[in-house]
Structure formats: C-alpha cells, structure tokens
C-alpha cells in the first residue's frame, strides 16, 4: 500500500492540485459548467498540440502515451539492492575469478548490468568496457531528454495559446461594445482560455516534464554506480573498497542501514581483505 | 503515405495550430476579415524582419527560404541502416583489409561517410582522421545553429513588436477619447498587433526554430556514430564489438529488431569473432 | 547570543519581511482578517503542494520538514578550525608517520574527515582515495540539490497558482456584473490569491531554496578543502605548504588572523620545513 | 553595390524596422509630433545611459561610438581567401622549408596571421605557438564580449525605464482625476515612455548587441582556422591534408566552389602529396 | 581629475539615472513629496532586506557596506604596469637567476604577485606553484561571486515586493469603492510601491551587482596574467616570449603604446634573446 502511494505520487499530486482548483472555484460560487468553453478548449488543445508536434516531430509525439504511463507508475530504483548485488559479484569474482560470473549471468535481471558483465566475462579491454557502457548511459540520457521534450514544449506553449485565446475573445468583445449587458459574461468567457492554458501547463505538462527528468536522473545515477562497480570488479578490487566507493551513491542514512543489513555476509569480505 | 506524414510533421503541426485559432475565432463570431489590419501587419512583418536582419546579417537571412523547405520535408535519418552499413564495412575491412574498402567507396551515398573512409583508405593517421572528422561535425553544428538563429530571433522580437503596435494604437485611442462610439473597435484593432506578434512567434517562428534544432541534433548524432564506427574500422576492431558500441546510439526497442533483422549476416561476424 | 543570531538569519529575515508586509497593510487601513480567504488559501496551498509533489515525487517531499529545521538552525562551517586541524595532522604525520594518525582517529568528530583519514591509514592508493572522496562530495552535492528542489519548484508554481486563483475569481465576478455594489470587494478578494501566491513564493519558498543552496556551497567548499588537505597529508607534503595551499579557501581577512592565532604552533612547522 | 548592401545589413535592418513603426503610427492617424515627449525622453535616455554606465564602467562606455561604426560597416570575413592563403603557405613551406616564409611575411596583411607566422619562422616551440595564439584568441573573445556588454545592458534596462516612466505618469494622472477631459491625453503621454523604452531596446540596442556577437563569432572562427592552419604548416603537414582539415570551416556549398576555383594551383599540391 | 571620474563611474551613473527620473517626474508636475509613502517604503525596504538576509545569511549581509564603498571607488587595474613588471622580473631572473628575485620581493606591492614570487624563490615545484596560485584565484572568484549575491538577490526581490505592495494597496482600494473621490489618489499611492521596487532594483541594486562582477572579472584577468607570467619566469622563458604571451591580455591599441613605451628597455631583452 505504501509502495503504491510512492509510485503514484505524480498522479496523486496532479489530482490534489486539480481538485483544489475545482473546489476553490465552486466555493466562489462558479459552477464547473462555466469552464466548458468550446472555443477556448479548441485553442488550448488544438493550438498546443499543433505547435508541439511542429516543434518535436511525429516520433517524439508517438512516445507521449507510454511516457504518461511511466510517470504515473514509476518505482524509485532500488539503489541499495543493486549495490549489494555488485558487492557480492565483486566478492565472487575475487574468490573464484571473473569467469565464475558467467554462470550467474542468466540470473541477473537488469539488462544493463548483464550486458556489462558479459563484456567483462568475454575479456573485453577495460577501457573499451568503459567506453561502451558510458556511450550506453549517454544514449539513454539523450533519449530521456528527448522524451521529456514534448511535455516541456507543451508547458511553454499552452499559456501563450491561452493568452492568444483571451486576446481573440477581447478583440471580439471590444468590437461589440454596443451590448453592455453581455459585456461581463463575454469578458469572463475570454478569460477561460487563459485559465485553461495556464492550468494545463502548470497542473499537467510541467509537473510531468519535471517528474520525467527526476526519474531519468535517478536511473542515470543507478547506471553510473553500476558502471563504477563493474569496472572495479574487472580490476579485481577488494570488495570492501568496492562497497566503500559505491556507498557514496547512497544518502548517509541509507548507508548505516545497509551496513547493518550486510552484517552477516561482511565476514568473507573482510577475510578476503586481509588475504589481499 | 505514412513516411510522408512523418516528414510533414512540422507543416501539419503549424496547420493544425493555425486552423484551431481561426476556427475558435469564428466560433466566437469574429469574421476573419477583422484580423486584416494593415498597420498591425506592417509593424509585425516590417519590424520583425528589420530587427532580425539587423541581428543576424544578410547572409543568414538568405538561407531562410531553403531552411523553411528543409523543415517541411526533412526525413528522420535512418540510424539503423547506417549502423548496418558500418558493421558490414568493419566486417569487410577485417576479412580483406582496409584497402579492400577502396572499391566500395563510389557506392557510398553519404558524403561524410565517403570522405571519412577515403581518409582511412589513404592511410591517414587515426588521430588526424579523428581531428578532421570532429572538426567537420563541429563545423556542421555551428552552421546549423547559425541557421536556426533568424527564426529564434524573429520568435523573440515578434511579440515585442506586437506590444509596440498595441501601445501605439492605445496611444492614439487615448488621444481621441472624445468619440466614445469608436472606442471599442479602436482598442480592438490595437490588440490585433499583439495577436499577430504572439501568434507569428508561437505558431510559426519558434516551432520552426525548435524543429531545426531537433533535426540538427539527429544529424549530429548520426555523424558522431559514423565517426565512432570509422575509427573502430580503422583500428581493426572486431565487428561484433563495433556493433555493440554503435548500438548505444539506438533506442533499446530498435536494437532488438536490429538484432533479429541482422540474424543472417551475423554468422560470418561471429566466426570472425572466434577467429580473433 | 551573537552566534544565535547568525544561525537564525533565515528565520529572522523571513520574519522581518513578513512583519513589514503586515504592518504596511495595516497602515493602509486593511484589517489582517481581510487576507483570510479560504478559496484563495485552498488554491495556493493545495495547488502548490499538489504540483510540487507531482514534480519531485514522494521521497523528496518527506525530507521537507527536516530541511526547514536545517535552514533555520544551520551554523556556518568553521573553515579555520578545520584548516588548523588538517595542518596539525599534516605536522603529526610528517613527524611520526601516517600510521601515527590511527590513534587520533576516534577523536575526530567530522565523519568525512575520519573516513578520509581511515583510508589513508589503511594504505589505500592515493588515486583511489581521491576518487572515493570526490564521489562522496559529488553525491552530497547531488543530494543537496535534490533537497532544495521542492522549495524551488514551490517557489515557481505558487505565483502561477495565485494568478489562476485571481483569474478564477475575476471570471466569477464578470459573470455577475449585475450587482455593482459587491463588485469592489469581489475583485479585491480575487486579488488575495495573487497576493498569497507571490508572497508565499518570495517570502518563504525562494529564500529557503536560496539559503539551502548557500549552505550546500559552504559545506562542499569545506569538504573540497578537506580532500585537498588529506591528499597533501598522504603525499607527505611540508605542513607549511599544506597551510599555504588550504589558505586559499579563506578570505584574506581571516588568513591574517589565522596566522596570528597559529603563531605558537607555527614553530615546529617551520622547523619541519627546514629539516625537509 | 551588392557588397555594400551586405556590409550595411544592420543599418538597413534598423532603418526598415524604424520606418515600419513610424509608417504604421501615421496610418493610424497619429502625428509623429505626438511621440516627442520630453519627460519620457529624459527617463529613457538619461536613465538608461546612467544605469548602463554604472553597470559597465567608463572604459566600456568610451568604446560605444567605435562599436556603432563597426556594426554598421563590418564586412563578413573572407574565410575562403584565408583558407587559400594558408594552403599556399603550407605548400611553400613544404617545398622550400619554413624559413622561406620569412620573405613573404611583409606581404601578409592580417596582423594575427603575420604574428603567428613570425613565431613559426623564429622556431618557437609548437606548443608555445599554440598557447600564445590561443591566448590571443581568448583575449579577443573576452574583449568582444565586453564590447557588446553596454548594448546588452542598455537593451535590458531601457524597457524597465520605460515602465518606470509610464508608472510615474500614471501616478500623476491618478492624483488629478478631477479633470476627466485631459485624462485620455495624459494616459496616452504616459504610455509614450513604455513605447520609447521598448522601442529603443528592440530596434536599436538588442539588434546591435546581437550583431556584435555574430561578428565576433565569425572573427573567432576565422582565427581558429588560422591557428589550425599555422600549426599544420609548422608540423610540415601535407598541403592536401591541410586543405581537408580547414575545409570543415566552410559550408559545403562554398567548398565545391573552392575546389573548382583552386583547380589550377591544385596540381603542385597533389604532386607534393605523391612525393610525400 | 580624469582618473577620479573613471573611479566614480558607478556613483555618477546612478546619480544621473536618479536625477533623470526625478526631473522627469517634476516636469510632469508631480511634487517629489508625492513619492514619500511610508507603507510603500516599509514594504520595499523591510521586505527586500528581510528576504535578502534570509537568502544569503548574516555574513554576506555584513560585507554589503564595504562592497558599496568598493564599487564607488574602484580603480581599473593597471594591466600594462603589471605586464611591464613581470617582463622586467623575467629579464632579471634570466640574467641573474631566480634567487636574485629574493632581494626585490619587499618592493612588490601586490600581495598575490609577492606570494607567487616567494613560492618561486623558495624553489617550490612548478606544478605546486600553479596549483596554489590557481586555488587562490578560484577562491577569490568564489568570494567575489558571494559578494555580489546580496545585490543580485535584492535586485530580483525588490520589484516583486513592489508588486506585492501595489496589490495590497489595490485590495484596500477595492474594498472601499464607496468613496469615489479618493479613488484616484489611492490607486496612485498603490503604484508608488511598484515604482520604488522597480526603481530600487534597476537604479541601485542591479547596476551595483553588474559593476561588482565586472570589477571581479578584471581582477581575475590580471591575476591569471600574473600566474602565466610567474610560471614563465620560473621556467626561465625568454623575456621577449613572456612579453608576447602576456600581451594577449591587452587590447591591441594598448599593445602598440606598450611596445613604444618599452622601446628603451627592450634592448637588453633582445640581446638576451639572441644569447639564448
């Protein structure tokens, strides 16, 4: 249940913000129906979608639905579990040799870790391993950035579309000042476009773009840690040193826990360390 | 047909946005004729063109029409085809030697790849090959940036020109408050300039600048991959390693396909790999 | 007492700003009760909290209360004391050898310094020491940045939420222009949302984000100095040179004092220097 | 004539923009005399000049007139001619030795190229040549940036001064609401300050700052190419390779022309290349 | 007298801007007394000071008065004199050896140059000299940046405080629409806060922040030149080469003068050069 809440943070946050706005409007006495304004909707949705498509191209747009899903259900990466796995691999490699890792390869779930270990087991030159894995991380970072781009562009264009919509409305109102009785509602309707544009950008597009970038940063961090670990394993570093190096990727609080949790398996490691 | 849609994304996007704005205005009851306002047009077009020309110089302005055409019809680069070509070149070079590539040179369509291979075949020092190709990529990146510059500048100046136009209009209206009957239409006309300036920037100039930068990024990525591949070929790397290295330029989805698709020709490569 | 004031600078600053705004409003004749507006509060608090949660995720939000406390009570790091400690360690290491530091380890309070010295005493390779400590500093910097992120995002979103609230209010007012007697108070109430959004961002969120970043910069600076010092100690540098190098981390004013203050213990250092 | 137009792009652009604004205002029916408003002029000119002087200091201000002149009459650098010269120098150096260049030194017009060749002829260490020339380029880049700074600052401050002027005017109007007949013209006059501030920034200061930066980028590019060429000449590189390397500084279109144009002198180069 | 004007550029600039605003307001017919508005003053001064203190901490605030003084009286650094001094030191070092510099040390006024030479005379390793001096420059740059920070933050917060003050005023006005006779003056008074906030930021805080950054850049440039010169002296470089290298820190105009001015002492240098 708690983990569910963690995963759904973005959906919950957007829901809370949307509900706050709606409730506040209703407390003012405005009926939600007043916000259903077809011309405004058309400008915000059609206009924003159009210029975003023009900005990022068709391919980036096609990834939008799957990114929506990712944002709503992404689990934070388990850095500690990955650290423990890398230290235990380092321990095994040091005791039984790098080739002993070949047998464990199929058990490793993460593609990046498995590919990296495969390279090590194949006896690839360490510098080449570094280059290939770094290129892989850079490629992922570039793809993530391209993925957040439609949301960022939409977040930038939507308020402007709202302003265009409102000015369009005001232009119409001002051309027909003769009927003062409809003046108020007409201006009011013109402002709906601004409301929608600013709302869509700030309640939907920008939070999602922010969240995608945060998820990307966490995943890159995890892979950089994995890269460091794999290179240490290939270099035959002492598992205790490997753990020390990788621990810098954990916040201090998580480290203490980690050390307690790893209390039992620490024994062979320290023996190894003495033997070194 | 589908590929056509991919290419025309920018044109379609701008069309959709423009049509949404127009339809929305007409649903409000404003006739399109109301937007034809010569003084506003003169400020937005003359003013924006003037300050953009002053900012970027005559040479950059002369490239604008061909860049418009490029944006509307650019095909996404076929990274996978290029990767396959580089791997097959690596395979040939490893089996028959670098000089064997000389015969294939005329068949290679892409100028950059052909020049790069020519350097390799000529026996140029690898570091020099790297330097020349990198300088070529940097030069292209600088030219692309200069190419997007007029659109970016115009996108920045157009809304300001719109505001200047509107303030000019309001100044005139306020000097003649005596005739309240024409007040509404006059203010309305003053706002047309803002509408045009913000619209031109957000529906035309900025999406095109964004698209040019995205196209440039894709092309640079392709050339960086080609550079990496050529250097690997010159170094006599194992084709399987070359493929592994270059694969980081593909999204994971495209890789799986690629590996299946390259199923048949993979055989000699893996033989080669064993022979190594 | 004075040190207390130093620590509480952020709390005092926010208090002064808040009190200035309140007093100014009361001098205008506005009763504070006029600012208690439930719909506005709901939009600013609910909306900002929601989109900030959506942007940064649940984990970052949970750290917010402890960061509030940190900002209000953070002491500036004592760079001079740390410099003196490092120079005296360098002195001891040079006279009695690196292993002599083992005995002092438990006396060192700062975790980072103790870990670093432990690595040196263990005979870890200098390059590895550098890498581990640098990774530790980078990790801390990344965690600090993530820590300031909710405050920065809230500082960016709150004014927009205020504008959304005000436009919502105006939309309602304009739909009911028939009752001109309540027009003034209604528009007035609509502006309370802008007031709260801009106020919360500029009086609370952004100053706290700024302060967190400044505290982080100071702490990173202290650790970089410690890293430089530890590496010099490991390299067996002359304590006078160590002092000279680390002194660049102090402002010139503090240096003079430092040299006077360290007048007495300077003697063995200079003897050491001659012996070198 | 055509070259004249190229040089005058900035003057023409500013003229076009200014004329468009003026014509548009006159079409609205506003007489140009309405824009002559002494208090507004005083704020925009005095205020902007004052804060710009305070920001950049007296020395930077003294360079402003000569920079105005530069912007209006700068010729685009002839990259192709410089490339041809460097290749022919490389050819001569390879055939007759570096010392043979001493005789041509007085014929070289460009100071930077001559100084660079002088260093080479003097037998300066290549790394030192690189360092001196790079420092020279960096110094020029820093001076250019400092040169554009007053225009950038003025472009940033002028609109704010305009807003201050308008608010000052409105404050005065609102204190004298009793005379509604002069209300319109008074508010109108208040807006002239905004008009002037935004206009001065966007029609004069920012385009000039942009142009100065573009001219600087072109000049730096030319010098970087020269630096590369000089180092190649010193290293005794094959002239064909020198041409290949430097060609990356030209757009592809200019290259083809260049190769045709250099058709005749290419012969000795390629002979040289075979002899190498 | 002229040098006095150079030094006082910031004070003069702020004075000119302030006087232009005041004169313009008085020409409009507004008496300066109208701008004395206690609630507005309280918000701008109390609010800006409070949030700036909260943002930068107590220590940074305490440096503000001395930075004000520095900005008003800073002399531009005499790069040419420093260059001449370094070249003459290089000349002396080359003719009489590095130890001969020991005798001149007390005559050198600049702390940085003296410390640097002391290191050289002490026979410190060149790489260590580079590291210590670079760290010193980096430390100074960081302190300067921290010094400009309160002015930058105040320049960012003051306009927002002005807007808060104006909205506070409007909220009060709108709650008391019943008295239309005081409407104008009340709204007018509300705008004074915006005027003060925008004015304080643009006429005082931002120009001072800009100036501090420009002064810092000049001082860093001078120290980087000194660092280059000292390292050349330590390496025993030919004084003519030292002059050539350092000259890139001067604008071309200043160089010609410098060469003429140094005409006489140039003789021993060139003799030295031949002897080398």
- Going by pLDDT thresholds of 50, 70 and 90, the confidence category of residue E3 is low
Residuewise pLDDT in 10s, chain D (276 residues): 566 666 788 889 999 999 999 998 888 787 888 788 899 999 999 999 999 999 998 888 888 888 888 887 777 788 899 999 999 999 999 999 888 899 889 989 888 999 999 999 998 899 999 999 999 999 889 888 888 999 999 999 999 999 999 999 999 888 887 776 778 888 888 999 999 999 999 999 999 999 999 889 889 999 999 999 999 999 988 898 899 889 888 887 777 644 444 433 333 332 333 333
Residue C181 class from Cβ within 10 Å (0-12 exposed, 13-18 middle, 19+ buried)?
exposed
Residue E259 has pLDDT above 50, yes or no: no
Q: Do A50 and B14 touch (CB under 8 A)?
A: yes
Chain E: partners with 3+ C-beta pairs within 8 Å: C, D
What are residue C261's phi and psi, to 5 degrees?
-60, -35
pLDDT digits (tens, 9 = 90+) for A93-151: 999 988 889 988 998 988 899 999 999 999 889 998 999 999 999 988 988 888 899 99
pLDDT exceeds cutoff 50 at C184: yes
| Contact assessment for residue E274 and residue E239, using Cβ atoms and an 8 Å cutoff | no
Model pTM score: 0.86
Q: Do C39 and A25 touch (CB under 8 A)?
A: yes
The Cα–Cα gap between B78 and D42 comes to: 60
The CA dihedral of E23, E26, E31, E37, to the nearest 10 degrees, is -50
pLDDT tens digits along B185-209: 888 889 999 999 999 999 999 999 9
E210 chain-D contacts, CB cut-off 8 A: 54-56, 153
Whether residue A193 has pLDDT greater than 70: yes
Nearest CA in chain B to D30: B172
Cα-based angle B65, B68, B69 (whole degrees, multiple of 5): 90
Are C9 and E58 inside 8 Å of each other by CB? yes
Query: C59 vs A11, A81, A183, C54, D94, CA distance in Å?
Result: 15, 17, 49, 11, 66
- Please determine, for residue C181, whether its predicted confidence score (pLDDT) is greater than 80: no
Q: Round to whole Å and give the CA distance between D136 and D222.
A: 13
Q: pLDDT per residue over A19-36, tens digit each?
A: 999 998 888 787 878 788
The mean predicted confidence, pLDDT, of chain A is: 85
Contact between D75 and D7 (Cβ < 8 Å)? yes
Instruction: Spell out which residues of chain E touch residue D176, defining contact as CB-CB under 8 Å.
Output: 184
Q: How far is E10 from chain D (nearest CA, A)?
A: 4
Contact assignment for E50 to C199 by CB distance below 8 Å: no
Q: E103-124: b or e for each residue (b if 16 or more CB lie within 10 Å)?
A: eeeeebeeebbebbbebbbeeb
Q: Are 3 or more Cβ–Cβ pairs between C and B shorter than 8 Å?
A: no
| Subunit contact C19:E169, Cβ cutoff 8 A | no
Q: Is residue D190 classed exposed, middle or buried when 0-12, 13-18 and 19+ CB atoms within 10 A define those classes?
A: buried
- DSSP one-letter string for E160-204: HHHHHHHHHHHHHHHHTTT-GGGHHHHHHHHHHHHHHHHHIIIII
Chains D and E touch (3+ CB pairs under 8 A): yes
Q: Which of B42, B124, B132 sits opposite D20 (nearest CB)?
A: B42
In Å, what is the CA distance from C83 to each residue of B36, C215, E142? 72, 19, 18
* Residues of chain B scoring pLDDT < 70: 1-6, 180, 256-276
Torsion from C-alpha of A191, A196, A202, A207, nearest 10 degrees: 180
Q: Give me the residue label for tokens 């007040």.
A: B183
| 8 Å CB contact between C219 and C80 | no
Minimum-distance CB partner of A21 among C47, C49, C54 = C47
Residues of B in contact with A59 (CB under 8 A): 6, 76
ipTM higher than the 0.90 cut: no
């Amino acid at each position: 249940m708690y983990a569910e809440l963690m995963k759904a943070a973005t959906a919950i946050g957007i829901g809370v913000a949307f509900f706050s706005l709606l409730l506040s409007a209703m407390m003012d006495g405005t009926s939600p129906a007043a916000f259903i304004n077809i011309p405004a909707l058309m400008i915000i949705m059609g206009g924003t979608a159009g210029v975003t498509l023009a900005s990022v191209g068709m391919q980036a747009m096609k990834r939008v639905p799957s990114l929506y899903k990712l944002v709503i259900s992404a689990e934070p990466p388990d850095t500690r579990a990955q650290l423990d796995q890398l230290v235990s691999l380092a321990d095994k490699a040091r005791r039984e040799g790098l080739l002993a890792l070949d047998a464990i390869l199929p058990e490793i779930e993460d593609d990046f870790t498995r590919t990296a270990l495969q390279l090590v087991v194949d006896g690839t030159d360490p510098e080449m391993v570094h280059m290939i894995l770094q290129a892989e991380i850079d490629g992922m970072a570039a793809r993530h950035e391209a993925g957040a781009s439609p949301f960022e562009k939409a977040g930038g264009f939507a308020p402007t579309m709202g302003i265009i919509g409102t000015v369009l409305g005001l232009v119409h109102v001002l051309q027909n000042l003769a009927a003062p009785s409809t003046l108020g509602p007409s201006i009011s309707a013109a402002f709906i476009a601004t409301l929608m544009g600013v709302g869509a950008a700030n309640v939907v597009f920008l939070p999602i773009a922010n969240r995608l970038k945060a998820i990307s940063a966490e995943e890159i961090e995890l892979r950089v840690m994995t890269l460091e670990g794999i290179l240490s394993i290939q270099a035959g570093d002492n598992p205790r040193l490997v753990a020390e190096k990788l621990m810098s990727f954990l916040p201090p609080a998580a480290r203490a826990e980690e050390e307690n949790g790893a209390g039992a398996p620490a024994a062979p490691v320290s023996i190894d360390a003495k033997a070194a």
